[in-house]
Amino acid sequence: MISTIETFGHFFLETREDLIRFFLRRLSCPATAADLAQETYLRVHACEQRAPTQNRRALAFSIAGNLVVDHVRKERVRANYAPSQSDDVDFLELVPCNDPGSEHRAMVWQDLEQVQAALEELPEDCRAALYLSAVEGLTYAQIGECLGVSERMVGKRIARTLKHCRARRDER
């Protein structure tokens, strides 16, 4: 009798190239394709731990299709809310030099006061999510646990906070 691990290993060897080609056709990134293929095998294995499947290959490609959709959605969100190159330059200008003049110091304090005012306009849950991420360095999953919400909701709150602060900065 062949063990489950041996059959899963054989399945892995049989389908790995097909699965990576599946991801490459949809995403055009070899590294992402390899990562998502690995995630697919982990999820297939987890599913089989709960209940045996009749068609492991169909399950794998169904999971793979869902992973592609999830990946594309996450990339869209990142593209919408990630700071652009011009935003990075603006933030760098706020960093004081080693010997700032009094005028520069006053401008930096004014900018900080504007950011603080913009943050105070937002609900506590948005400010808390940003603080836990930016200052405490927690992951979205950890923040979600602390605040009692999903990772997705944490992402939305942080995105909302950053968008609001950018809008206030651009009003000047």
Q: Is residue 139 pLDDT above 60, yes or no?
A: yes
- What burial class does residue 64 get, using C-beta atoms within 10 Å of its C-beta: 0-12 exposed, 13-18 middle, 19+ buried? buried
pLDDT tens for each residue of 146-172: 889 999 999 999 999 989 888 887 776
Q: What CATH number matches the domain at 4-81, 1.10.260, 1.10.3470, 1.10.1740, 3.20.140?
A: 1.10.1740
Q: Report which DSSP code applies to 83.
A: P
- Mean pLDDT of the chain, nearest integer: 82
pLDDT tens for each residue of 31-53: 999 999 999 988 888 888 888 88
Output the CA–CA distances (angstroms, integers) from residue 27 to 12, 18, 73, in the order listed.
21, 14, 12
CB 154 within 8 A of CB 129: yes
Return d(Cα 158, Cα 156) in angstroms, integer. 6
pLDDT tens for each residue of 98-129: 555 667 677 777 877 888 888 889 898 888 89
Q: How many CA atoms lie within 13 A of 48 on its CB side?
A: 20
Provide the CATH number for the domain formed by 85-170 in this structure.
Answer: 1.10.10.10
Residue ranges per domain, the chain?
Answer: 4-81, 85-170
Q: Report which DSSP code applies to 94.
A: T
User: What predicted TM-score, i.e. pTM, was given to this entire model?
Assistant: 0.47
What would the mean pLDDT of 50-68 be, rounded to a whole number?
88
What is the SS3 assignment for 138? coil
